[in-house]
C-alpha cells in the first residue's frame, strides 16, 4: 500500500482479510460502531489503535519517515507545487532551437 489515510488503511486491510466489520472489531478489541466511524472517517484512531486494528486483520505496518515539504512564505506554494509551476513554465519554451540563430545585429546599418 502506498500513502493512505487511516480510513482507507482499515477498510482495505479488512476487505483483503475477508473480515466483516463486526469480526475485525471483535479481534481488535473495539466496538463495531467505533470501527465503522474509523472506516467512514468520522473518527481518527490513535497510532496505537490503528496498529492494533491492522494487526487484527493480519496486516503488517511499515513506516517511513521523510522530511515534510514546507510552504514557501513568499509564494504561499508548497515546494512540490512550486516545482510543478517551474515545470509547467519550462514546457512553454521550445525543447530545441533552430540550427541557426536568427537575430538582428545592433549598431550596424545595411546600406542598400
Q: Is residue 103 part of a domain?
A: no
Task: Between 28 and 100, name the one with better pLDDT.
Answer: 28
**In this structure, what DSSP letter does residue 112 have?**
-
71 and 29 in one domain?
Answer: no
Mean pLDDT of 55-70: 80
Residue 39: domain span: 6-56
In the structure, what pLDDT confidence band is assigned to residue 3 with cuts at 50, 70 and 90?
low
50 and 23 in one domain?
Answer: yes
Q: What is the pLDDT of residue 36?
A: 96
Backbone angles phi, psi at 78, to 5 degrees: -70, 155
Q: Is residue 86 part of a domain?
A: yes
Q: How many domains does the chain have?
A: 2
Q: Is residue 100 part of a domain?
A: no
18 and 50 in one domain?
Answer: yes
Q: Is residue 107 part of a domain?
A: no
User: What are the CA-CA distances from residue 30 to residues 8, 10, 16, 36, 71 (Å)?
Assistant: 18, 13, 19, 11, 38
Q: Is residue 108 part of a domain?
A: no
Q: What is the pLDDT of residue 94?
A: 74
Q: Is residue 109 part of a domain?
A: no
Q: Is residue 112 part of a domain?
A: no
Q: Mean pLDDT of all residues in the chain? A: 84
- Say yes or no to pLDDT of 27 above 60: yes
Amino acid at each position: 500500500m502506498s500513502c493512505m489515510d487511516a480510513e482507507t488503511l482499515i477498510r482495505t486491510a479488512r476487505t483483503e482479510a475477508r473480515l466483516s466489520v463486526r469480526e475485525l472489531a471483535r479481534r481488535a478489541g473495539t466496538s463495531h460502531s467505533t470501527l465503522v466511524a474509523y472506516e467512514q472517517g468520522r473518527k481518527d484512531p490513535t497510532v496505537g489503535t490503528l496498529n492494533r486494528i491492522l494487526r487484527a486483520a493480519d496486516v503488517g505496518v511499515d513506516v517511513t519517515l521523510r522530511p515534510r515539504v514546507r510552504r514557501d512564505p513568499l509564494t504561499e506554494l508548497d515546494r512540490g507545487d512550486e516545482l510543478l509551476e517551474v515545470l509547467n513554465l519550462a514546457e512553454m519554451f521550445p525543447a530545441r532551437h533552430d540550427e541557426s540563430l536568427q537575430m538582428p545585429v545592433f549598431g550596424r546599418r545595411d546600406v542598400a
